Amino acid sequence: MKLNTRLYDIFLNQARRVKVETLSLGLGYTAVATSDGGIGLAYTYFADKKSCMILNKHIDYEGQSADQLLEKIKSANTVERSMALALVNALNYNDALNLPEDHDNHIMFDRFKINQGRRVAMVGYFPPLVSVFEKKGVLLEVLDISRGLGEKKDFYDKLKHWAQVLMLTSTSVLNNSTEDILANVGQTVKTVMLGPSTPMVPEAFEHLPVHMLAGTVPVDKEKTLKAIRHGMGTPVLHKYSRKVFLELNRPEK
C-alpha cells in the first residue's frame, strides 16, 4: 500500500538515529517508546489467532535501531504492522504533541457540520461518537466487519452517492483498507481519520482525500505503558493523553 510506503520513507532516516526503548504489545493497544523520548500508540490488530504464536519469529527490538521495526510497516503480519505504526507515532511524537487539542470533539463537529440531518458514513464503530450523533439527529451508516455491522457493497454505494462526511478509523491502516475505502468516496465527501492509531503526518496523506487527522498523544508515559500492559482501551488511554487534530488543505473538487 502506498500509505505504508510513504510512512516508511518519511521516518526511515530518523529511525536509523534512534533506538526502540520499550515495546509493549497489549491485547487492546500496542505502545512503543523510543530513545529520543517519543511514545506512540496503535491498535493491536489480530488476524485469526490459531496458536500461541502471533509473530513469525522472535526478534528483540528493544535496544535496537528503530529502522528494524519500522520495516514491519510493510509486513503481511497485522501484529507486526501494529508495532511499526506505534513506532511511527513515537517517531512523530514531538510534532504531534504540539498540535492543537480537541478534547471533546467540538472542533471536529464544527468543521464537519455534524448536526441534525447531516449524513455521516462511519468505518469502525465508535460508541461515544454514535451516542452523540443519535442525540444530534445525525443520519448514520456504519461499516464494521469485526462487529458484523454493514455490508461493504451497500456501504460503498452510500459513501459515493449519499454521505457528506466520512469518519474513518485509522485501524484501516493496519488492515490495508484505507486506500480502498477512500477510492469510493464521493466528490464532495469530507473525511476525517480518527483514533489512537492515527499517524499525525500530513505528508503521508497527500495522495488521499483526507481533510482532518484526529489522534491521541500520550503525555504520561509510565501510566500509558501500564494501561497497555493491563489490556486497557481508548477510554483509559485518553486519561493519560491529549486528543489532537490537524486540518489538511485539500483543493475543492
Total structural domains within the chain: 2
Under the banding of pLDDT at 50, 70 and 90, the label for residue 88 is: very high
| pLDDT greater at residue 61 or residue 249 | 61
Residue 69 lies in a domain: yes
For the whole prediction, is pTM greater than 0.85?
yes
Residue 33 lies in a domain: yes
3-state secondary structure the chain: CHHHHHHHHHHHHHHHHCEEEEEEECCCEEEEEECCCCEEEEECCCCCCCCCCCCCCCCCCECCECHHHHHHHHCCCHHHHHHHHHHHHHHCHHHHHCCCECCCCHHHHHHCCCCCCCEEEEECCCHHHHHHHHHHCCEEEEEEHHHCECCHHHHHHHHHHCCCEEEEEHHHHCCCCHHHHHCCCCCCCEEEEECCCCCCCHHHHCCCCCCEEEEEEECCHHHHHHHHHCCCCHHHHHHHEEEEEEECCCCCC
Under the banding of pLDDT at 50, 70 and 90, the label for residue 1 is: confident
CA 144 vs CA 169, 180, 182, 186: distances in Å: 10, 15, 15, 20
Tell me: do 186 and 79 sit in the same domain. no
pLDDT at 55: 77
Cα 27 from chain centre: 16
> For 30-34, 46-50, 89-93, 162-166, which range has the lowest pLDDT when averaged over its residues?
46-50
pLDDT at 52: 63
Tell me: do 239 and 132 sit in the same domain. yes
Each residue's pLDDT tens digit, 103-139? 999 999 999 999 999 999 999 999 999 999 999 999 9
Q: Which of 251, 250, 243, 249 is nearest to 107 (CA)?
A: 243
Domain harbouring 148, CATH code: 3.40.50.11590
Tell me: do 83 and 199 sit in the same domain. no
Which one of 94, 115, 136 terminates a domain? 94
Residue 124 lies in a domain: yes
Tell me: do 120 and 85 sit in the same domain. no
Tell me: do 243 and 124 sit in the same domain. yes
pLDDT (average), residues 48-74: 85
Residue 11 lies in a domain: yes
Tell me: do 165 and 76 sit in the same domain. no
Tell me: do 88 and 35 sit in the same domain. yes
Q: Are 194 and 214 in contact (CB under 8 A)?
A: yes
195 residue type, one letter: G
Q: Which of 37, 44, 79, 34 is nearest to 232 (CA)?
A: 44
pLDDT (average), residues 78-92: 97
pLDDT at 253: 47
Each residue's pLDDT tens digit, 173-219? 999 999 999 999 999 999 999 999 999 999 999 999 999 999 999 99
Q: Is the pLDDT of residue 50 over 70?
A: no
The cell for 226 is 501500564
Tell me: do 162 and 130 sit in the same domain. yes
Task: Tell me which residue range forms the domain holding 79.
Answer: 2-94
Residue 61 lies in a domain: yes
Each residue's pLDDT tens digit, 27-46? 999 999 999 999 999 999 98
25 φ, ψ (degrees, to nearest 5): -100, 95
Q: Are 158 and 183 in contact (CB under 8 A)?
A: no
Under the banding of pLDDT at 50, 70 and 90, the label for residue 141 is: very high
- Residues in Cβ contact with 180 at an 8 Å cutoff, skipping those fewer than 6 apart: none
pLDDT (average), residues 149-165: 96
∠ at Cα 3 (13, 50), nearest 5°?
100
Q: Are 213 and 202 in contact (CB under 8 A)?
A: yes
Q: Is the pLDDT of residue 49 over 70?
A: no
pLDDT at 54: 72
Which one of 94, 124, 157 terminates a domain? 94
Residue 58 lies in a domain: yes
